[in-house]
Amino acid sequence: MNEKLIEFENVTMFYNDPEEAEADKNIAPALIGVDFTVNKGEFVAVLGHNGSGKSTLAKLCNAIYEPSSGTVKVKGIVADNDDKADEVRRIVGMVFQNPDNQIVATIVEDDVAFGPENLGIEPKEIRRRVDDALKAVNMYDHRHREPHKLSGGQKQRVAIAGVLAMQTECIVLDEPTAMLDPMGREEVMQTVHRMNKEMGITVVLITHFMDEAVKADRVVVMDSGRIVMQGKPREVFSQVEKLRSHGLDVPQSTELCNMLGIKNSVLDVDECVEEITKMLGGAR
Amino acid sequence: MIRDITIGQYYPGKSLLHKIDPRMKLILTFAIIIVIFLCKNFFSLGIIAVTAVAAALLSRVPLKMILKSLKPIVIILLFTAVLNIFYTQGGATWFEWKYIKITEKGVFTALFTMVRIVSLVIISSLLTYTTTPTMLTDAIERVLSPLKIFKIKVHTLAMMMTLALRFIPTLIEEIDRIMNAQKARGADLETGGIVQRAKALVPIFIPLMVSSFRRAYELAFAMTCRCYTGGEGRTRMKQMKLSGVDFFALFACVLITAGIVVLNHFFEAVI
């Protein structure tokens, strides 16, 4: 079960030239000595405020960037040339924040087909994969529509279908819900969870919404290019003060129970209701 | 309103014209356009006019839409007609007053040119009415693919066209948003002379440019992530196959061309 899919070993990342950065002390690296692993089938949420390095982490998983120092291995492959980078991208797919800027074609199904087409797959097989992927994200009925006429949540689901059709083992989502309304967020998060549970796809979710991280298998908290906290959501979110010091809030239910002085750690609304009922000492 | 725009002017349908393979349609449309200019008398021109009308009927595109495609050329039509009537002289004189002299040849030439332009516009707009922009760019890529031997990157060009089509609605939305934002900051876009108004557009186009570059950058990332490495080793989900309809269309066009050549030969040329 604990097969390692993505491994970061002591990764440091400068966006500028490292020598230049050394000369100018004001340039901070985006990542400093990060060790990070993602196991197969896991759902990892990466949290952090703006500029904490979480997006950089995502882009390193997918060989878009090469680390300034240290190694990133995906299934043992180090992407140090274009061919290997391509191999990595066949294993790890990526969904970006802005749905508009990642849809390539003028028709939904053509866009989903874009990835498999690039992989050089047989036309009939592409058709099958595209249909399956669109059904998996509940967008099959919209397959002939034009992307610009879809809602944000629908567009983002099309983008996810585009990765599914490539049949990657892992999908990295870089703040996929940041530009969506609450409804769209819900749609996308349900899809992502279903992918993880039913299809066994490894998920790395980069987000700054605490509520989305609650259901993850593991939460990683980043600040100033370092991983500062790591563990099960319950362990991480129980440390309210420490999270705050890294510029993050805790989920609202957790915060409420914390303020009420409830000792047990609470993650979602149901648990919160239960605890408060218990505190009030009465039946609901 | 802006959300409703469709890219191109595709009219969805299942007519015979919609079913023709886009490659065939593209080539045949070009062929017919060339043939239009081969017409020398009213009989051969008649064939073209009938072809245009028949094609329009076959496509089941509403008359209103076809008339709409003719609207922008009304001025050109009138202009050429007037010029032809007054400046082409020859044959019997039908009307004379001071410097103005209208002759048979002038009227014929004017009529001829008008019918020619109208047929041309109808036929070429039927191509875009019955083919989606995606199919059209696909067809262009495939039809032009022999140019690869001259090291022309046909795939790259087609990809650029697809992306341009894809981003037209996105950028229109963006312009709308920027205009509203600038209006909210007190920008005056509607009053003043031409120079003033052109100047007022600068604060709209600069943000648009900046955001377009950012979009391009992100799109390039997204495409790389989806293993895009150019045209080589790519397959296509939608295969194009020639079928009975295509050969029928080809046959019809050959007949039309033959008819025109024959009629040109047997009757006196008007133009």
Residues of A in contact with B221 (CB under 8 A): 59, 64, 96
Share of chain B above pLDDT 70, in %: 97
Rounded CA-CA distance B213/B211 in Å is 5
| Residues A115/B232, Cβ–Cβ less than 8 Å | no
Q: Kindly state the average pLDDT of the residues A19-32.
A: 69
Rounded CA-CA distance B141/B153 in Å is 10
DSSP state of A265: -
| Residues B201/B209, Cβ–Cβ less than 8 Å | no
- The pLDDT-based confidence of B3 (bands split at 50, 70, 90) is very low
pLDDT of residue A27: 65
pLDDT of residue B253: 93
Across-strand partners of A230? A220
Residues of B in contact with A103 (CB under 8 A): 166
Q: Are residues B17 and B130 in the same domain?
A: yes
pLDDT for residue A57 is more than 80: yes
Q: Kindly identify which residue of chain B lies nearest to residue A117, measuring between CA atoms.
A: B235
In Å, how far is B163's CA from the nearest CA of chain A? 6
In Å, how far is B145's CA from the nearest CA of chain A? 18
pLDDT of residue B210: 94
Q: Kindly state the average pLDDT of the residues B240-257.
A: 90
- The pLDDT-based confidence of A203 (bands split at 50, 70, 90) is very high
Helix axes A269-280, A252-259, angle to 10 degrees: 20
CB contact under 8 A, B173 and A148: yes
pLDDT of residue B28: 94
Token code pair at residue B81: 């007609």
Of the residues A65, A74, A118, the best mutation for testing chain B's interface (the one with the most B CB atoms within 10 Å of its CB) is A118
* Alpha carbon B4 to chain centroid, angstroms: 21
Q: What is the dihedral of CA A141, A145, A150, A156, to 10 degrees?
A: 70
Residue B103: C-alpha distances to residues A104, A194, B117 (Å):
58, 79, 22
Q: Are residues B120 and B214 in the same domain?
A: no
CB contact under 8 A, B162 and A106: yes
Q: Are residues B113 and B163 in the same domain?
A: no
Q: Are residues B134 and B250 in the same domain?
A: yes
Q: Are residues B249 and B138 in the same domain?
A: yes
Q: Are residues B253 and B204 in the same domain?
A: no
Asked if A152 is an interface residue toward chain B (Cβ–Cβ < 8 A), one would say: no
Segments making up each domain of chain A, as ranges: 4-233
Mean pLDDT score across all residues of chain A: 86
Q: Are residues B6 and B37 in the same domain?
A: yes
Across the interface, which of A101, A102, A123 has its CB nearest the CB of B237? A123
Largest CA distance in chain A: 66
ipTM metric: 0.83
pLDDT of residue A278: 82
Asked if B224 is an interface residue toward chain A (Cβ–Cβ < 8 A), one would say: yes
pLDDT for residue A17 is more than 80: no
B233 assigned to some structural domain = no
B271 assigned to some structural domain = no
Asked if B14 is an interface residue toward chain A (Cβ–Cβ < 8 A), one would say: no
Q: Kindly state the average pLDDT of the residues A204-226.
A: 88
pLDDT for residue A245 is more than 80: yes
- The pLDDT-based confidence of B97 (bands split at 50, 70, 90) is confident
CB contact under 8 A, B237 and A116: yes
pLDDT of residue B1: 41
Share of chain A above pLDDT 70, in %: 93
- The pLDDT-based confidence of A214 (bands split at 50, 70, 90) is confident
pLDDT of residue B54: 93
Q: Are residues B56 and B75 in the same domain?
A: yes
B130 assigned to some structural domain = yes
CB contact under 8 A, A101 and B222: yes
Domain housing B169 = 151-225
B236 assigned to some structural domain = no
CB contact under 8 A, A89 and B221: no
Alpha-helix runs per DSSP H in chain B: 16-19, 22-36, 42-59, 63-70, 74-87, 104-130, 133-144, 154-184, 194-225, 244-266
Rounded CA-CA distance A162/A101 in Å is 13
pLDDT of residue B146: 87
In Å, how far is B235's CA from the nearest CA of chain A? 5
- The pLDDT-based confidence of A160 (bands split at 50, 70, 90) is very high
- The pLDDT-based confidence of B189 (bands split at 50, 70, 90) is confident
Mean pLDDT score across all residues of chain B: 86
Across-strand partners of A218? A44
Of the residues B237, B238, B239, B240, the best mutation for testing chain A's interface (the one with the most A CB atoms within 10 Å of its CB) is B237
pLDDT for residue A26 is more than 70: no
pLDDT digits (tens, 9 = 90+) for B197-210: 888 888 889 999 99
pLDDT digits (tens, 9 = 90+) for A177-198: 888 888 888 889 999 999 899 8
Domain A4-233 has CATH 3.50.50.60: no
Per the structure, the count of domains in chain B is 2
Residues of B in contact with A148 (CB under 8 A): 3, 169-170, 173
pLDDT digits (tens, 9 = 90+) for B157-177: 888 888 888 888 888 889 889
B90 assigned to some structural domain = yes
pTM of the model: 0.79
Q: Kindly state the average pLDDT of the residues A201-219.
A: 89
B235 assigned to some structural domain = no
Q: Are residues B134 and B157 in the same domain?
A: no
Asked if B171 is an interface residue toward chain A (Cβ–Cβ < 8 A), one would say: no
In Å, how far is A93's CA from the nearest CA of chain B? 7
DSSP state of A140: G
Q: Are residues B218 and B250 in the same domain?
A: no
Q: Are residues B25 and B71 in the same domain?
A: yes
B216 assigned to some structural domain = yes
* Alpha carbon B199 to chain centroid, angstroms: 32
In Å, how far is A170's CA from the nearest CA of chain B? 13
Q: Please provide residue B164's backbone torsions phi and psi, each rounded to the nearest 5 degrees.
A: -60, -45
B231 assigned to some structural domain = no
Q: Are residues B157 and B205 in the same domain?
A: yes
